[in-house]
Each structure stands twice: as structure tokens, then as C-alpha cells.
Structure 1
Amino acid sequence: MHALHVGSRPDALPCREDEYERVLRCVGELLEEGSGGCIYISGVPGTGKTATVHTIIRELKRMAQNSEINPFTYVEINGLKIPEPSAAYSLLWEGISGHDVAKEGHLRVGAKESLKALTRHFTTGNRGPEGHACVVLMDELDQLVTPKQDVVYNFFNWPTLVGSKLVVIAVANTMDLPERVMTGRVRSRLGMIRINFQPYTREQLEKIVEARLASAKEGLEDEEGASQVIIAPDAIKFASMTVSRITGDARRVLDICRRAVELVEPTKGTVKAPHVREVVNMMQNSPTAAYLRDLSFHERLMLTSLIKCVKREGVEEIKWSEVEYQHLTYVDSLTSEDDPKRKPTPYELMMVLDSLVASRAVVVEDGTAVARKPPGERRLLLNLEQGEVERVLGDVGGQRWKAVLSN
């Protein structure tokens, strides 16, 4: 169960060997050349992007210790783990300046001061600690997008400056984020290396589960029951087939298999296809899934519109005016014979939103300052697990809804 947990870090990543080699080669070459650069990694959640980069960083650190490549400083910035996008400046400046956070704690330098220091550092061609290059992983980059786009812009622009020796590995869920952030002039000189991680296929998901199970059995040869088959091949195949049809998310197939092992653990039996089917049914019949299936056509359409805007914008909080526009756009393409053909009025759409807010499926920003904003400027936030919403609405709506939700 530990090996199948999504938080478990395997030593090797099956089915991402090509992507691993390409990113490793690109970063290694930039370090050897002593030049800056940006590698943009995109792909839907659960396709091994971050795990692959972490494995690469471990290998690069080993190579640097053995003097196989030039030494470098490493900084990791996760968009979900910082209070606001501008806090990324402070984290990068800590790494660039050589401050030892482990020993001395975080620098008490604000975002504005850090930005000034970084700008001065990169424009004057300074180097990192002891003249080293700096490799920065910007994970969950979608969360660092701001109305001015200044944070992402700076992190994409600094590697292009002569002598910066800054290598940015940017990881995001959306392919077109650079186009939305950078001007055409900057994009043309950026020379960004792009690598897209495709969703896992059924065969690849099977290999991932089998590799986890094999790693769990290592060192257990002498123990009683070590030779027992934990999950039957047909059960792994069924779980992988179920997930590959919907998302291709490796985390989901691992979660299904882990829950199935928990199910049979009291009897010390082997997981078989019926056990996996039972787990899938339990997950599909969760309270959230039941709630989503009972929604009206326009309530489902509004959630779909919100998710579409989240994917397009790369941020979780979306203006009501954008959701409203997307909703009206989808009325024609997603209406079936049983659904209302007439486009709703602004008042009717607000009633649909109020219904979703009342059930806490959607949260709307509130407060005195917000009350002074025009209604269209208020921001909405999906308060449900996005993956489950996509899966259930796709199942309820059929192929057209699945196509819209998967794009």
C-alpha cells in the first residue's frame, strides 16, 4: 500500500525515459555552456512532469559532485506553496545570493527588494554563489500568473540576458501559457525548449503499477508470503483501462489499486478485477458524484464553463464575466434534444450561480472592497475536486462534454 501511494517517490520512472533523457540533456548542455535558458514542460496533471524533473535534478547533483558537469545552485518554487506569486522573487534571491535557509532561516527581504536585487544581478551579468549557474524549478507555474503577468514574464526573460547563467525549468498544465504571457518580440528571442507530456496509455499505466509492486517486493524474498501475487494482472489491466479512457492520470490508477489492496488486506487475498470494479464504483458513487449527477443542465454547463476558463487562463480564480461568456458560447454546442435551447438571460445565469454557491460547489469572492466592483469583475473559485467534476460531467453529458472537458 505504501509503494502504491501517490506520495511515494520511486527511484525510476517507467514510461518517461525519452522525456527524462531530453530534459537531462538540455539542462546539462546549458550548464556546460554556462548560458541561460528556459525549458517549458507542459501536460495534464498526473503525467509525471514534476517527478521526472526531481529525478533529473538528483542525477545532475550527482554529476556535479563527481565533476562531470559544472556545479550549480538549485532553487525550487512551487506556485501552490507560496502565499502570492511575487514571493517567488524572495525564494530565488535566497538561492542566488547563497543564503543558507536550512541554517539561518528565510531572509527577511520583501518581494520588491528581492526583485530589485535580482534585476540588478541579472542585468549586470553577475553569477550565482561562487560564480555558479542557478537551476530553478518553477512548479505549478499556472498559479503564478498575475493580471500584469510580471512574475512569469521576469522568470522567462531573465535567462535570455547575457551572462545570467539562469536555467529555468517551468512546469505547467497548459501548453499555451508562454503565448499568453510573453509579447511576440520577447518570444522570438526566447528560444524556449518545449516538451509536452502526453497522458499515459493503458499499457503505460500497467507498467507503472507493475513497477511499483516489483519495488515493494524487493528485499522480501525470504519473508513468508513474499511470492504471493498482490494484484492479479487482469485487475491491473482493468484499472489501467478505466483510467486511460478518462484522464491517463497515473495518480488515479495508483489510488484505485491502493484502495483495492486495502479492500482485500483483512483476508490477505489477491486483488482481482471485481475488487477493482468495486473500488471504481465506490469512487463514482461518492457524495460529490451524486451531487453532480443531480444538477440541472445549466448548473452542469456553468461548472464546465468555469473549468474551461481555469484551463485557458492557467489560474483558479476566474472573473464572472468570463464564465458568463463561456457559458453562453457552450449553450449551442452542448445542448441535446432534452435540454433547453434558449440562451438564459443575465438574471437567470445569476440564479444558476447562486444555486452553485449555496451548495458550496463554487465560491465567490466577498467583502467590502469586492462589493464596490462591477458584478462581472467578481471572481469565482471551483470548490470541488476538478478531476472528479470533469469525470462525472463527462459521463453524464456524453462524448461532446468529454471532448470539451478534456481540451
Structure 2
Amino acid sequence: MLRAGAGLGAAAALTPGLAACAGGQNADPRASGDVELAFWTHDEAYADFFEVSAEIAERASDFRYRLRLSRAGAEDLVTKAIAQAIAGRGTPDVAGFEIGAFPRLLRGVLAEELLTDLSGDLGDAADDLLPSRTAPFSRDGRLYALDSDAPLVVYYYRESEFERLGIPTDLATWEELAEAGTRAHERHGVSLGAVPVGSEAGVNTQGFEMLLLQRGGRFFDEDGALAIESPEAEEVLGFLAEGLRTGFLSSVAGLLHPPMQAALKSGAVLGQWMATWYRIYGLEPNVPEQAGQWRIRPLPAFRSGGVRTSFTGGTGFGVTRGKENTLAGVELVKAAYLTPSEQVRRFRDLGYLPTRRSVYEDPELLAIPDEFCGGQPTFEVYRDLIDEAPSIHLSADKSTLDTVLSGYLLQAYHGDISPREALARTAEDFRGQTRNSRD
């Protein structure tokens, strides 16, 4: 019931009483003293990071912090937050909402009732925060969470194998890389990228969305309306389908799944477009023996237009409003995600890119060699790309789109239907399934 409530009927059922429930009768927030914050996350590494940030928050405020950690899966965390708000107790003070799960809070006025608007707490960071990373967690001029990362999509390639097989590493366009990759597959049986085609709908659509955003398309526009039927979407879907047909691209269950790990280990897949965190969670733990062989570069451009990068992923940290610890929570999130030195530490310790534009000029970050990438100063690549990064706009119906689109993507990849037909059927089914929620 709670999952359904968060998706369809809950907006009407929960308001206007949700805010009072969430905060324990809209308690007066304390302005100083010892606080124990209920801190919810899907990744314990965030808790470790915030423990250090709490020291900065203590110096900048009159609070003294203790964090009480609760860990849950990204989807379960949102479900539990809404359930506890309904119950009127046990809500988090600070919570990290993964970008794939956050859209559930965009139904009706759920975010407005549950979360603090942080837009008035940005100070000198207001004009420095990347708009492309505030957009996913904003609605109607309100900012409900601060993103933990600016996960630029780059092209990872195994340089040693590219050189051995005579594959150029500096091809400017996807079309050129596809031609080289087709020849490499015919001669050596290798692929230069992989496309997710497994049972997880969101994983399948992610691989498509990254290149769609790069090309200038999107799933949803700024108002949350479906924007999937576009020339850009048709072009990208056709490109992926053709790449699978020629062997330039390989099909895998998911980019973090065992078949992909096996393909990387065996050398069957020698490159991949993916977010900056892929090295940490996808490459380094699964092919440690290939350390020093990999490099990153900007994405090849599409000949017909677009940019050289994209985005995927992110986690926004928000503060439950109307609680005794609300002000303390706001000060903690500000210290962790607005302080320039903490933005530097976040990249150094966790590999997450800064969300303040000025930090991309930090000499310490620019000088860091990435040993897994052969000592390459990878931050130089990120600095070169950050101003091209597209914005992601979310919708409360994102999970519905993932389910519908995934099936049609697979049909288009198999050649059963054309890209245009796949997108048209997606739009028709999506509108049919979401008509009641919009009404």
C-alpha cells in the first residue's frame, strides 16, 4: 500500500497533514546544543563522510552532533520515510535520496510537505552550484536536496588493448568509433561497449538515457512532461541497435553484473560509456589486474549534434522539515556539501565530483594522478567537460516509463520493431498507464 501510495494516490491521502506528521506536530526547531540526528542512507560511506563534516558544522554553528545511522536500499529508504511520516514518528532528520528513487517524492506535494526547502540556505554557493545538479532535486523553485556528486559520463577504454589491436583512441565521433569497432569485432571478436538488456528496467533505460542526454534529448522536459518522441531519441536508439547488430557493441544484463565483469576480464569488451564512479564500483574491484591499462576521455560526439558528456546517477541529501532537529540537519548538509574543502575531500576520499563549479579549478584536484588509469590526471578531463553537462529533469512517473520503455528498447535492439515505432508505442503505453495519476 505504501509503495502504491507513494506512486499514485498518496498525494491526496497524505496532505495536508503530512507535514505535521513528519515533524512530530511541527516541533519548534532547536537552535543550539547537543543533537542526535537520525541519518538515513543507502551507502554507509556517506555516513563516514558526514561524521567528519559534522566537525565543520560544529565550528560554524552552535550544535554538537551525533549521527544515528540507518541503512536501507534506495527504494526502501523512500518507502520507509513516507511510511514513518504517515505514522507521525520515526522520520529521518537527514536522508540521502538516490536519484532513481527520488521521483516518488515528486508525486503531488509529497516533497513540499516532507522536505525542507534549501534554496534560501545556499549563501555564497547559490551562484556556484551546478544548475545541472540542482535541477533533478528541484521543483517549482524549491530545492529539496543537495546532490552528492556530479557524475559525468566519460568513455573508459583499455588503452593497452586498443594499441595492440590498432584501434585509434582519439576518434572524434561515435560514428567513427562504431566503424573501427565493427572492424575490430570482425577481426578479433571484441566489442568497444556494452548495452544493458537484462531484467532490470531501470538499468536497461539508463544505458540508453546517457547517450540520449548527450545527443540533446531527454526522457522528460522541465515541467515533467514526456519528451521521449524526438529525432534525437530515434537517432540514438537506431545507433545502439545497429551497434548490437554489427558487434561494435555487446549485450549484457547490466554494467555492474557478472556477465559484464566476465567480458571485461576476458577482454571481450574493451570500452564503455559510464559515469565517473564506474571506475570505483565497476572496474577497479572487478578487474584489479588491469590497473594501469585503462584511460578515460570525453565521449565521442554524434555527427549530427550534442555535447561530449552526459550524466547518470547522484544522491541528494535532504532534511525533514518541521522537526526539532531541522535546523541542525540543515547546518550539517550545508557543511558537507557547500564547503569547498569538503567538496575537495569528497572527490579525494569517495571519487565523487564537486557540485560547485569553482572547485573544478582547485589545483590539488587537478594534480591528482589516477593510478588505475595509468597515472592519468583524470580531473583535467572532468574540468574540460563540466560546462557541457546536460541537466536531468525528473517525473513522478519515471518508474512507469522505465518499465514501459525497457520492453520496447529490447524489441528495437532485436530488430523486431523500428526505433520510431518503439518510441511511439512507449509514449502511447506510458500515457495510458499514467492518465489517472495526472488527472
Q: TM-score, normalised by structure 1?
A: 0.29
Larger Rg computed on CA atoms: 1
Structure with more helix by fraction: 1
Q: TM-score, normalised by structure 2?
A: 0.28
